Structure 1
């Protein structure tokens, strides 16, 4: 099935105690967890929902992450994450993300991730479907 031309999704996260360090500032691992949630929702729109992945054993695997931390989020902030399909190549695809604070729309994080499709349990990379290129 061909992918939609403007594939995107959004998620909303409230910063919890476990997302922060002792100073109440969100730590980098928490941002990556939030981005993973957004990316998982994006994958579902690409036909790779959790059930399908479990059934086919074909998984999108992160092979590279580029992230820029622009401003900190703190305990209690509500964050809006926007993710989109950014680029398609033969064997991998890129997703781009923005994290913004809901209260003032401040841009906190920009991120790009490269993913490859991997067939498990063999761990064998698989070319992207041809109809994804359309």
Structure 2
């Protein structure tokens, strides 16, 4: 799970609980989206930005679009490693590439890309990502060149 520029992408560890599975003990497909959401949230927290504080500043991050591909099932009690790598940083949005891997054997279970928009909390209209957050992502060197004007 190395980024193309050699920097290890951020990864969040989690475990599969009974509530995450179907009757056969296999993770229900939509729960991978929850695991990836948690990894994005923890990525922000790791950079020093709690979502609760951002809401207090009048901004939200909302998923604009999601794409997921499923490769192999996770099962009850599996420990997972969920990456959250910013691959595109625009004026009012971030694009994340994410993978869910089983820790014990590093098997790729699910992967996807998510376009996350920064919006005003009061009217849900797009707004610029705060400069402090843009700088934090740039300093982590896991974003490609930012696209101007987007």
Q: Identify whether the pair has TM-score above 0.5, normalized to the shorter chain.
A: yes
Could you list the runs of 5+ residues in structure 2 that have no partner in the other structure? Answer: 135-145
Q: Is the 8 A contact 2:95 2:113 kept in 1?
A: yes
Query: Is 1:14 aligned to residue 12 of structure 2?
Result: no
Could you list the runs of 5+ residues in structure 1 that have no partner in the other structure? Answer: none
Tell me, in whole angstroms, the C-alpha distance in 1 between the residues paired with 2:39 and 2:99: 10
Query: Is 1:92 aligned to residue 93 of structure 2?
Result: yes
Match for residue 65 of structure 1? 66
Question: What CA deviation, in whole Å up to 9, does each residue of 1:30-85 have, x standing for no partner?
Answer: 11111111000112345531232131120111101111101111111111111111
Root-mean-square deviation (CA), in Å?
Answer: 2.3
Query: Is 1:119 aligned to residue 115 of structure 2?
Result: no
Secondary structure of 1:105's match?
coil
TM-score by length of 2: 0.77
Tell me, in whole angstroms, the C-alpha distance in 1 between the residues paired with 2:98 and 2:15: 17
Tell me, in whole angstroms, the C-alpha distance in 1 between the residues paired with 2:87 and 2:45: 16
Q: Which has the higher strand share?
A: 1
Distance change (3 Å), C-alpha of 1:74 and 1:127:
same
Shift of 1:88: 1.7
Q: Is the 8 A contact 2:55 2:121 kept in 1?
A: no
TM-score by length of 1: 0.85
